[in-house]
Chains A and B, each alone.
Chain A
Amino acid sequence: MSWTNRYSVRIFSAFALLVIGVLAANVPAGAQQHGAYVFDGKRIPFTHLTSQNGKPAVGVNDPGLKALLDDVGATITWQPGQRYVLVTSAEPLVVSFAVGDTRYDVGPVTQQASFAPFLKGGEAFVPFEELVRALDLAPKRDGNDVVLQPQLASIDVQTSGDGAKLVARAGIPLDARIVSDGDGKLVIAFDGVGSTLQRSRSVRGNGLRQIDISTEGDVRNPRTIVTLQLAPGTSHGPLSTDDQRDFAIGFNGASAGQAVASNPEPSQADQSSSQSSEQPASPAPQSGTTVTAVDGAVIAAGYQVHVAVSGDASYEWHRLRPPDNRWYVDVHDATLGMPATDQNGGGPVQSVRIRQAANQTVRIALSLGDYDVVDVQPTASGLTITVSNAIAQIASTAKTGSGTIGSSAVANAAPATEPVDGNWKFAPQPGAAKTHYDAQNPRLIVIDPGHGGSDPGTVHGGLHEKTLTLDMAKRLRTILIAHGWQVMMTRDVDKDVYGPYDSAHDELQARDDIANKAGARMFVSIHVNGFMNAGPHGVTTYFSKSIDVPFATDVQRRLAANLGATDDGIVKSKLYVTLHATMPAILVETAFLTNPDDYAKLDSPSWRQKVAQAIADGIGDYAGSAPGDSQNSGQ
């Protein structure tokens, strides 16, 4: 063998070894270790599976991965050139990977992966086992296959009052059933899921004494058994679920559907406002004292929040327990006369929330950054809250206080300060709501029955939004004409205003065009709300512009008072139809077609007549006693 041949052999051998090495590195891990991955009885053909540090890595474009994610109700976000790979589970939890970083996050929990995600052929590859575990699937070998076994992800006991509630959750839709009930034991079986939660734990009080979790069956057909040891005399409700993923059962009267203790709202201030908003209160008190506006400004000493209050009231203020740098000011015996607001502040004030916290209390909650010196003083117009970081700036280190607002406090004016950058405003100052809008026809009101023609709007249980809105609009027209108003309807039959199957933009603009060209004094769009579940209910008036606020307020007040419906208040939103109407414009969402109680109301002609009457009354309040009396209109 010549030296050239010897070198040729060596070069060839080295090349062959290199090729073998490369091929070995790229052989799908699944093929190296087992036959196939199996989920829900089906084999999943992963085609972008490779190995990294001896662990499987899956490409984000793998059709098998996409099929698996579809099956478990998860979605993936990744684009070529993008560092982050984000997977949202059905829970929902966001699972976050990043190319080159072994850290990954599963919701709030940060973990370390066995290897960092990497790019290969322009595609991101992520650790397969970490990903599937984050989706509550456990890879389990069964013969030559690896079964991705769904896991019972959590079992939580939440106590409330004298009752308790048990919540079980899994990464896939669950089949759960009570298999036995008696002798102080309740046994629940979860078919199709395994569990790593196998253990016994004691539970104190509220009827539950102990929980035992065990598994049975095999890898492909697992079952998790949850045995609850009950105290004598403990009663329970049915095993219930909304989505087959979370099952709940209540004990000793606790509702399986009540809000859970894990709600992340942390503060007493927030919790209080949460209760008021989730269980909307009865119509606001009519004490005569009203919080009419809140605005703020950066000052040399820090920041000032001015609370305008009309009438007499008492107030108190507190800081939540440090290091929580949140404060709240309660104005008692007062009504919130402006929209409930969550707003970024400025400077040291991170956010400000204003709510009707209880029937007779308006709460202003401040979340502060680095500054933690606060002083609250009554002024001629209400209250001034000063926020500073220097004790010398304001003579107060108190964390709580109280006082009164009204004639006796007029002399306690806050020091004059000049606002600089960062001003904000939650409600128009007196006079600011009076706009320069002059109606060409001050006697004309345009009524817009929402949707119509090819667009039915919300459809539920046989009722169509477009039919209901037209009915209420016609009733409103009759009332308004009887009171001397001129009325123009954007439609008075079941039709599209712009054209069949037009875009929402063209359709909404066509409705605005009618009102704008006619120079109407007011624009009222009537709608029926809907949502993805039956929970939300009540009447809401939406607005978009500052000139809409007084109009919305007057109409909503009448709707809430006259209908006996849940008052969801007035809500600002960038709604096309109210934004592009040049005159004061509102959109009334009369009720939720998707809520059973509201549905029954909407189905009632007499209730729809009440809606029309309430809107007409609100229009009357807003405009004054006579149509065209623009001096009394609040404009």
Chain B
Amino acid sequence: MLIALLVVVSAASWLIFSRHRSPVGDHLTVYYTKIDGQSEVAWDVSMRPQQRDESAKEHLRNAVLYAATQAVAGPPSTIQAVRFPPGTHVISANVTGSTAIVDLSKQIETQTGTFGETGEFKSLVWTVTALPGINAVAVRVEGQKLETLPGGHLELDQPLQRSDF
């Protein structure tokens, strides 16, 4: 009986303490690009804590998804900002090494010029690379890798980093 109890306690302890703790805190910093096209403004959003059955890796991936979605959504409409084309949203997000892979919907292909493209992707890259362990963002559109947006200006076939802006 005592042995069984010990086994149960050990198993419970293992389950509780063996789980890797997510490096993501309880807040995310989201950036939007001001209408000057280059300055970034930060604001915080609350991040859902890591759940019991959620690994650290999954929590980071979910944080990337949430952060990227916040960046693409942009600040409330009363605030002037460089915004993604209407309807643009994040389809999925993943993490490979220190690179986040963010898949965007096709509305991103709406031409917004050098100004828009630069402001949009700077916001996305700054936001996602603010997460621990992420230093680059690979962009996909409807699951496809692409070199530039159609009629676009930015090079997208390599992951974007903060130093690109």
Contacts and interface: CB of A to CB of B under 8 A. Distances in A.
Contact of B37 (A79, A105, A540): A540
Given A94-B70, A98-B48, A277-B34, A573 B78 contact: no
A629 B124 CA distance: 42
B99 interface: no
Contacts of B65: 77, 82, 84, 86
Nearest to B90: A77
Contacts of B66: 84, 86, 94, 96
B114 A542 contact: yes
Given A274-B41, A344-B162, A575-B155, A77 B69 contact: yes
Contacts, number: 199
A76 B105 CA distance: 11
A592 B115 contact: yes
Interface in A529-577: 529-532, 535-536, 540, 542, 544, 568-569, 571-577
Interface in A115-157: none
B148 A503 contact: yes
Contacts of A577: 153
Contacts of B140: none
Interface string B66-105: 1001101111111110110111011110000000000001
Contact of A108 (B35, B38, B46): B46
B53 A532 contact: no
Given A96-B48, A278-B34, A536-B35, A573 B118 contact: yes
A98 to B, nearest CB: 6
B118 A91 contact: no
Contact of B152 (A88, A280, A353, A504): A504
A589 B153 CA distance: 12
Task: Sort chain B's interface into a size bin.
Answer: 35 or more
Nearest to A274: B34
Interface string A401-429: 00000000000000000000000000000
Nearest to A260: B78
A533 to B, nearest CB: 9
A270 B41 contact: yes
Contact of B75 (A79, A245, A264, A455): A264
A88 B48 contact: no
Nearest to B164: A574
B36 A246 contact: no
B160 interface: yes
A167 interface: yes
A88 B154 contact: no
A10 B87 CA distance: 57
A432 to B, nearest CB: 15
A610 interface: no
B142 interface: no
Nearest to A101: B51
Contacts of A531: 82, 112-113, 115-116
A83 B40 CA distance: 30
Contacts of A568: 36-38
B89 A278 contact: no
A574 B124 CA distance: 14
Contacts of B151: 451, 455, 457, 504
Contact of A105 (B38, B48, B73, B164): B48
Given A75-B105, A503-B148, A532 B112 contact: yes
Given A100-B53, A503-B148, A589 B114 contact: yes
B78 A167 contact: yes
A94 B46 contact: no
Contacts of B51: 83, 98, 100-101
B79 to A, nearest CB: 6
B160 A574 contact: yes
A369 to B, nearest CB: 12
A503 B150 contact: yes
B141 interface: no
Contacts of A100: 51, 53
Contacts of B149: 504
Given A542-B114, A572-B165, A83 B73 contact: no
Contact of A571 (B73, B113, B118, B150): B118
B10 interface: no
Contacts of A475: none
Interface in A316-353: 340, 342-344, 351, 353
B76 A93 contact: yes
B87 A589 contact: no
Interface of A: 73, 75-77, 79, 82-84, 86, 88, 91-94, 96, 98, 100-101, 103, 105, 107-108, 110, 167, 169, 243, 245-246, 259-260, 262-265, 270, 273-274, 277-278, 280, 340, 342-344, 351, 353, 355, 451, 455, 457-458, 503-505, 508, 527, 529-532, 535-536, 540, 542, 544, 568-569, 571-577, 579-580, 587, 589, 592
Across the A-B interface, the 3 shortest Cβ-Cβ residue pairs: A505-B147, A75-B89, A277-B36
Given A105-B45, A532-B116, 13 more contacts: A77-B92, A84-B62, A107-B76, A263-B79, A278-B35, A343-B162, A458-B113, A503-B150, A508-B153, A531-B113, A571-B38, A576-B147, A589-B113
